[in-house]
Chain A
Amino acid sequence: MNAAYEFVTGPLAWFAWGIFILGAAWRLYSMYQLAKKKDASSWAFMDLGFSLRSIVNWLIPFNALGWRKSPVMTVATFAFHICLILVPVFLVAHVVLWTEFFGISYATLPDSVADAMTLVVLAACLIFAGRRLTQKEVAYITTGKDWLALVIVTLPFLTGFLAYHQIFDYQVMIIAHIVAGEIMLAAIPFTRLSHMVFAAFTRAYMGSEFGGVRHARDW
């Protein structure tokens, strides 16, 4: 068990983070090259001011028409994404690991809060899954890739929660959790989750086109 733990927190962790960071960087770089080469007449319109204008307006819940038209999803997705980022970054158990390996330590979330936020993420995942099953306009366009992304995201939270509450065998669960977390990291550059890398740019591009060419807002 210990050896397995050593492995997943050691070499495998390095590997997962490596794929995540290098993969994301490579995807961004090659997309940039492609855009310069093949989308010159779009790239030329990228504008920092209009990009930020669009991004900021979309970061405000219920500000964009898209958010107002789907309130349940708006609440779910904002809660989901906020917790999704905050929990793993500021979880005591995670920060302890950073301290142990690299001597880094910083502010943490109280465990009870993190626990609740984990439940929020899991609840949001349930809502996402429910929409994909029951809402016809979502079901119609759902593909395997979308389920895969959802499962990859759900697993670390589910296993982390189970490990924390010592449900089932802790030793097994914590290793499962770590593997699930590493799978997620490694999957980000190469699955639907790559929207983490690209969404800011697609939004920025639309914002630039609407601001600079069409003189209209895009939210």
Chain B
Amino acid sequence: MHPPTLWNWEPGQRVILSSMKAPEASAWVEEPYASPDGESLAALTTLTEGGCTALVNGEPWENTFEKGWHLRFSPDGRLTAVVQQDGMWTLAVDGEAWEESYDYLWGTQFSTEGDVIAACIQNGGEYGLCLEGTPWETLFENANQPTLSADGQSSAAVVQLASLKPADLDGFAAGVFGVAVDGQAWDANFLNVWTPTFDPAGKRVAAQVRTTLYDYSIAVDGQKWANDYGCVWEPRFNPASGSVVAPVRVAGAWGLAQDDQIIWEPKFAQCWQQVISQDGKNIAAIVAPQFGTFTVAVNGKPWGITLPVVTDLVIGRQGEVVAALGNTDNRDWRIMVDGKFWDGSWDMAWQPVISANGGHVAVKVEKAGRQTLVVNGRVYPREFTKVWEPTFSPDGTKMLIRALDKDAFLRIVAEVGRA
């Protein structure tokens, strides 16, 4: 059910499914997925007589398929799986296969609201994307690194625009890669293109490009920045100004450039995964002030706390909160919020979730095989067999916890103040 304002936000706990026991007809059941609203738990199951289907709150879909994988809920609550039927691949949405099917289909993508579902397709050796089953008009020799605009109205991928003979150095040097937006290729070709990304309106696309083996830059709608850099990483649009921000490497050190102008002096041993607040005023990125030590820099200023590895950086809508995770050797995970460590260290932690309102932060964590949440620095008083990443209510006062306690799937609404 969508949107989250319509979910049941009544505080309390409900048992949605008391047991995950496999039905008679199942040979085995795969790992479970929880719906965004916490009202259902789904899993793929392989049937004893062959074929597979999905179980939703223990009930199988009406249809069964030859094969199925990649079970995912769309943000609007629809359940999807990549399935094979009569040797052809398609997407099953809430148990119904799309009308269209392809030689191969994979890489499901959702619009932010979840109302549009896209996937990568291969048909007769040609590649592209399809939206709600409908393929691009033009398909290509190869298409990868797909992306969907926030509203789901546009899709893009890196595409191969000319064939290469085996070990064809000249062909490659001529530049055979570009970006296709809704199946329409940019005019420009590059040696390589990586991580195309849409602006928030879904109108413009920026990507990393390489014009020779040595010259890296950013191209926006096919137009390369004037400067080349030693290397670049993923560009991001500033949601407010529409300018493009990307990490660039100059003389062996990393900084940030905005529209081809340096905004963070290149002095870091690493700088990537920048995030920009909705108001466009705050930029944060994961940086390494020195070799081997990582932290977060906000508007160019690194935090005072460092760890060997930092991941999962997020920023609040107005930049009011910046949160990330750090770890040592993928263990001893620490939660880093606004330049301070929260108490406690964990065997694993998941990307912090920031409320749309009020600057609350919640993090899913695991220790000794048990999972729980840390909310605003305090550990939730209960542990679970498994918990999903939490969701804040739109007003930021409540939190939806989806959890497995032993075999039972629970839906808990907690008040943030008390969590």
Q: Do chains A and B touch in the complex (CB under 8 A)?
A: yes
Which positions in A face B, CB cutoff 8 Å? 40-41, 44
Q: Which residue of A lies closest to B252 (CB)?
A: A38
Q: What residue in chain A is nearest B290 (Cβ atoms)?
A: A40
**What 0/1 readout, one digit per residue, does chain B (268-300) give for beta carbons within 8 Å of chain A?**
010000000000000000000011100000000
Q: A44 — which chain B residues lie within 8 A by C-beta? A: 291-292
| Nearest CB in chain B to that of A45: its residue | B292
By secondary structure, the B interface counts as: loop
CA distance A41 to B292 in the complex (A): 8
Bound together, the chains give a CA A44 to CA B292 distance in angstroms of 8
A40 to B291, CA, bound (A): 6
Q: How far is the CA of A44 from the CA of B288 in the complex (A)?
A: 14
7 A–B pairs (Cβ distance < 8 Å), ordered by A: A40-B269, A40-B290, A40-B291, A41-B291, A41-B292, A44-B291, A44-B292
Query: How far is A41 from B288 in the complex, measured between Cα atoms in Å?
Result: 12
What's the Cα separation between A40 and B269 when bound, in Å?
9
In this complex, which of B269, B290, B291, B292 has the most chain A Cβ atoms within 10 angstroms of its Cβ?
A: B291
Report the nearest B residue to A38, measured CB to CB: B252
Distance A81 CA – B291 CA, assembled complex (angstroms): 38
Q: How long is the Cα–Cα vector from A44 to B269 in the complex, in angstroms?
A: 13
CA distance A185 to B291 in the complex (A): 38
Q: Least Cβ distance of A210 to chain B in Å?
A: 19
Give CA–CA (A69, B291) in the complex, Å: 38
Residue of A nearest to B291 (CB): A40
C-alpha spacing A41/B291, complex, angstroms: 6
- Min CB gap A2→B, angstroms: 59
User: How far apart are the CA atoms of A44 and B291 in the complex, in Å?
Assistant: 8
User: Residue-by-residue, is B3-32 near A (CB-CB < 8 Å gives 1, otherwise 0)?
Assistant: 000000000000000000000000000000
Q: In whole angstroms, what is the CA distance A70 to B290 when docked?
A: 42
- B233 nearest CB across to chain A (Å): 18
Q: Which residues of B contact A41 (CB under 8 A)?
A: 291-292
B253 shortest CB reach to chain A, Å: 10
B283-330 contacts to A, CB under 8 A, are 290-292
Docked CA distance A40–B290 (Å): 8
Which A residues are in CB contact (< 8 Å) with B269? 40
Nearest neighbor of B292 in chain A, beta-carbon distance: A44
A44 to B290, CA, bound (A): 10
Chain A: minimal CB distance from B9 (Å):
50
A62 to B359 alpha-carbon distance, docked (Å): 67
Closest to B293 in A: A44
CA distance A161 to B269 in the complex (A): 56
Closest chain-A Cβ to B287's Cβ sits at a distance in Å of: 15
Q: Which residue on B lies nearest to A42, using beta carbons? A: B291
